[in-house]
Amino acid sequence: MTDIDHLLRDIFSGSKPFFYSTFERWVRGSRRYRIFATSYSSKIRSKLKSARDDSGLKDLWAELETAALLLTEPRFTLEYELYTALKQRGPDFTVTFKTHTPFNVEVRRFRTSELAQDNSEARVGKLMGIFCDKVGQMPPSVMNLLWLTAERDIPEADLNQAALNLRQIAERKNEDFFMRRGFKSATEFLRQYQQVSGVVLRQPDETVVWLNPLARHKPLPEMVNALRQIP
């Protein structure tokens, strides 16, 4: 039995979820992904055991797939749930670009049920909800990206509209809107919103990178190009 066989057995303990064959292919075919899987084998195993249903497995797969995609760029190095290890709430991945420029990536799977209605207004509403849910996980002192992985295409215009709607609602000081979503005020939302440097919308046909014009820490153009070119 090879080291890779031992690694797969250690992580999956005999179970074979829907993504097993793809995960195995990545581990066998990519040295960088194999190192990632080995370094975080206990974390992945724990997440597999705690996934309660198919939706939970798909959420985990979204994280593992994102790691595989980021590691195709040789200038990216990757840490998994660094903030959890520090007992802090934070994004899923901490990435370093060219050994000196760190940024965070928080992964959110845009579920098929959230795309069930072929309706732009409904999609924009869902995206606004995701923004409100995730901005609080973004640390203030570093670049942060929200990585949305979608099982069906989402028009880039919907993402732009969702961001614009939230900004306009906050600037109008609609306190009730944000208080219902867990914020103390519109001002608090805007402060946290500025901690989102951008959004990577990963979907079947293309990868869209949206940059937040209000971001406190703006991504480097070279970094953005690298994200857009991920296969």
Q: Report yes or no on 72 lying in a domain.
A: no
Kindly report, residue by residue over 206-226, the tens digit of the pLDDT.
889 999 999 999 999 999 999
Q: What is the pLDDT of residues 176-208, one digit of tens each?
A: 999 999 999 999 999 999 999 999 999 877 889
CA separation for the pair 224, 219 (Å, rounded)? 7
Domain count, the chain: 1
User: φ, ψ for residue 104 (rounded to 5)?
Assistant: -105, 155
pLDDT at 112 > cutoff 80:
no
Cα–Cα distance, 137 to 146 (Å, whole number): 10
Instruction: Confirm whether 32 is domain-assigned.
Output: no
Residue 145 pLDDT > 60, yes or no? yes
Whether residue 117 is predicted with pLDDT greater than 80 in this model: the reply is no
What was the pLDDT predicted at 116?
A: 57
For residue 200 the two structure tokens come to 């990577």
Sign of CA dihedral 40, 44, 50, 56: positive
* 170, part of any domain: yes
pLDDT in tens, 152-165: 888 899 999 999 99
Q: What's the Cα-to-Cα distance from 132 to each of 26, 74, 101, 129, 230, rounded to whole Å? A: 33, 32, 26, 5, 27
Whether 87 has a pLDDT exceeding 80, the answer reads no
Tokens of 159: 């993402």
User: Residue 114: is its pLDDT beyond 70?
Assistant: no
Q: What pLDDT sits at residue 64?
A: 98
**Cβ neighbours of residue 33 closer than 8 Å, sequence gap 6 or more:** 26, 27, 67, 68, 71
Residue 203 · residue 153 · CB < 8 Å: yes
Average pLDDT across the chain, whole number: 93
Q: What is the rounded distance in angstroms from the CA atom of residue 50 to the CA atom of residue 76?
A: 29
Q: What percent of the chain has pLDDT over 90?
A: 83
Average pLDDT over residues 66-82: 96
pLDDT band at residue 26, thresholds of 50, 70 and 90?
A: very high
**Does the residue 166 lie in any domain?**
yes
Question: Between 11 and 84, whose confidence is greater?
Answer: 11
Asked, for residue 34, whether it belongs to a domain, the answer is no
Residues spanned by the domain of 101: 81-228
Task: Pick the closest to residue 80 from 66, 99, 101, 98 (CA basis).
Answer: 66
Query: Which residues are within 8 A (CB) of 221 and not within 5 positions of it... i.e. 6 or more apart?
Result: none
Residue 29: the pLDDT is: 96
User: Residue 151: which pLDDT band, with cuts at 50, 70 and 90?
Assistant: confident
Rounded CA separation 161/128 (Å)? 9
Cβ–Cβ < 8 Å for 189, 183: yes
Cα atoms in the Cβ-side hemisphere of radius 13 Å centred on 116: 2
Q: Is 6 part of a structural domain of the chain?
A: no
Q: 37 in a domain, yes or no?
A: no
Residue 101 lies in a domain: yes
